[in-house]
Structure 1
Amino acid sequence: MTTAPVTGSVEDQPRDVAPSRRLRSRRRLTAFDLFSGAGGLTQGLQDGGFRVLGAVEFDRAAGESYVLNHPKVRLWNSDIRTLDASKLLASVRLRPGELDLLAGCPPCQGFSHLRTLNRTRDVLDERNDLIYDYLRFVRELRPKAVLLENVPALADDRRMTHLIEGLIELGYPADDGYRILNAADYGVPQRRRRLVLLVSRDGPILSSFIVRPVATVRDAIGDLPVPGNTGDALHDMPERRSQKVTELIRSIPLDGGSRTDLALSRQLPCHKKTTGFRDVYGRMAWDKPAPTITTGCHNPSRGRFLHPEQHRAITLREAALLQSFPPDYQFAPAAGKERIAAMIGNAIPPRFVQEHTRGAREALLS
């Protein structure tokens, strides 16, 4: 495709924006998604105006879910450690240095707070070293900017120090390029603290687009029908509870109540033995953000995952909405409830990513 030459004198052009700047602003920025999961990061990038050219994800069910929602993006459903980064770049018809944004979230379970309390686990968990494959892709692709999202505990891990040093050696001044942010400050109806590193070759890209008012549980799921016969398989998946647990759930006060509100005689024996994990068997509050949506989001024994007023845990559709996925986002149905809950809980909230693309776009188009 050829572009017609600009005609007329300089005086004929609009004076508010220079022609070169105007052409740059029309360019669709490109991105590549590493450790894509079911596609939350890709969704946020696309919502923010980026064209995602390719993605890498090891898990088969997550890859199937990714393809259901992003069929036009080329997905490598493979172990990233076996992939040649330069060949992937060539397959999407780019050369080193041409990609606008390399984004990714290396698996974070190995960096989680509960796991890093045990230093032996931290050393042995091989998933932690996948962050070096992220750095390898930066080295081979030489993108104009990089985005990495992970749990806050990564900031205190030696691998983060090595990553920062590696990025600096490659020309990305990343020593001041990361922040610990709360997704609730960026339009996500959920409290979720995450480490975000966003830096270009020119320096850190710092986002200041805090959204007010804060989105709430009511905003996200308040209009949903009672599950069971809605026609949405993700919303209608049944739950199975013992009679004892069902009675416990019914006794939890509505709209933010907790098992700690009950008399000791009405609490489960296992709950009487500990003063920790106080959110277990707690209800969400309608007019507050949800707690962090985790891989156990469908199970009230794993956190504050009871519906504000209905006597049940939140459904997988409700969990996806609280993660800011679109209402029609699909997950591979054959994966089963546990695997889908893991995909949702491990995802990056698309709205969180979308807000950060604003700063990235401004930096890359300036």
Structure 2
Amino acid sequence: MRCESLLSTPPSLIEQDIRTIDISEVKRTLGGAPLHLLAGCPPCQGFSSVRKLNKKASVRDPRNQLVVEYFRFVEELKPLTLMMENVPGLADYYLFKQIVKKLKAMGYWIDVQVVNVKNYGVPQSRRRLVMVGSRLGAISVAEGFEVETTVRDAISHLPTPEDSTDPIHKIVAKHSDAIKKRISLTPKDGGSRKDLPAEYTLDCHKDEKIGFNDVYGRLRWDTISTTITGGCLNPSKGRFLHPEQNRAITPREAALLQSFPEDYVFPADVRKQSLALMIGNALPPAFSFAQSANIASHLSGTEQIPG
């Protein structure tokens, strides 16, 4: 049995808290067929460098335990291959280290690497931990490639929001006149708040030891974007100003910087903050494709003997 059999299996969606899912329900959905891939991305807030303030220890967060739920599914379903993605800080979490040991004891070949999505055709810098595993033979995390996609490549062709017919591209953050003035004074193509005249510096930014340097910064045309986060539509959350227009990036621009297709349909009737979270928290599609294609190639080239 080879992975092509997946093409005839209709998709099935279980919308439920993973901690309450009875795995026997998943087994019924599979109908006795082997599970070719179990992919998971447990919430990463407790391991992020921002919340940890770049320290090694993880922040106490009940969501940290969800990595154990992922392992519960692996134990019960015994997928042929598996993949988990998270922030690099997960590598130091004691439960993750225990899980890797248990997976190897179960007979999985495991590879864990920290990679940057910019090396997979995504026009932003975003370091991620990726774990892949297989019961069928040695497997490695997909390798990246040299060609870099820039901010210009991703968004320069778009019309201004005022001239766009795309409802997602027409959504632009609104600011006070004072903030608009600061934005207009920020040098084009990579300028930051540090380039502003002293009288325009916010009180909260006057102490050099406080704050993040990228807030109210402009993207640069001919390099990659900074990490697109759940605050990507708010310039007070990072370097999210358009390279030359006096505004924050739109949801469509943020999505393109995440490597979503330009015709990807997002709900236009949700709050802007919810839309930003959908986009910023997503695993960039181009990166997902590279990792998925790598696993599909592994499955296609390996004799599959479920058991």
TM over 0.5: yes
What is the Cα deviation at residue 171 of structure 1?
Answer: 1.8
Question: For residue 83 of structure 1, what is the aligned residue in structure 2?
Answer: 21
Select between 205-214 and 141-150 the one with higher mean Cα deviation: 205-214
Change (3 A) 1:198 1:29: farther
Name the CA distance, whole Å, in 1 between partners of 2:40 and 2:8.
12
Pairwise mapping of residues 101-250 of structure 1 onto structure 2 (< 5 A)?
101-117=37-53, 122-123=59-60, 125-174=61-110, 177-207=111-141, 209-250=143-184
User: Percentage identity across aligned positions?
Assistant: 46
Give the gaps of 5 or more residues in structure 1.
1-22, 31-50, 54-71
What is the Cα deviation at residue 132 of structure 1?
Answer: 0.8
Tell me the SS of whatever aligns to 1:364.
helix
What is the Cα deviation at residue 203 of structure 1?
Answer: 4.8
Q: RMSD of the alignment, in Å?
A: 2.2
Tell me the SS of whatever aligns to 1:195.
strand
Name the CA distance, whole Å, in 1 between partners of 2:282 and 2:81.
21
Question: For residue 73 of structure 1, what is the aligned residue in structure 2?
Answer: 11
Which letter maps to 1:351?
Answer: A
1:52/1:73 contact within 8 Å kept? no
Which letter maps to 2:145?
Answer: V
2:228/2:254 contact within 8 Å kept? yes
What is the Cα deviation at residue 209 of structure 1?
Answer: 3.5
Name the CA distance, whole Å, in 1 between partners of 2:11 and 2:278.
19
1:263 aligns with 2:190: no
Give CA deviations for 1:160-208 in whole Å, capped at 9, x if unaligned: 112212212322133xx11000000111011000000011114552245
| Greater than 3 Å deviation, 4+ residue runs | 117-121
Question: For residue 236 of structure 2, what is the aligned residue in structure 1?
Answer: 301
TM-score (norm 1): 0.77
2:57/2:93 contact within 8 Å kept? no
Tell me the SS of whatever aligns to 1:335.
coil
What is the Cα deviation at residue 119 of structure 1?
Answer: 9.1
1:228/1:237 contact within 8 Å kept? no
Name the CA distance, whole Å, in 2 between partners of 1:28 and 1:337.
40
2:231/2:280 contact within 8 Å kept? yes
Which letter maps to 1:347?
Answer: A
1:258/1:283 contact within 8 Å kept? yes
Change (3 A) 1:264 1:75: same
1:110/1:116 contact within 8 Å kept? yes
Name the CA distance, whole Å, in 2 between partners of 1:270 and 1:292.
23
Give CA deviations for 1:210-235 in whole Å, capped at 9, x if unaligned: 22320011111110110135222211
Selected match of 1:328 from 260, 263, 273? 263
Give CA deviations for 1:230-269 in whole Å, capped at 9, x if unaligned: 2222111132101111000001111111111223222111
TM-score (norm 2): 0.91
Select between 262-271 and 215-224 the one with higher mean Cα deviation: 262-271
Tell me the SS of whatever aligns to 2:114.
strand
What is the Cα deviation at residue 74 of structure 1?
Answer: 2.3
Which letter maps to 1:179?
Answer: Q
Name the CA distance, whole Å, in 1 between partners of 2:158 and 2:239.
19
1:86/1:141 contact within 8 Å kept? no
Selected match of 1:313 from 248, 272, 284? 248
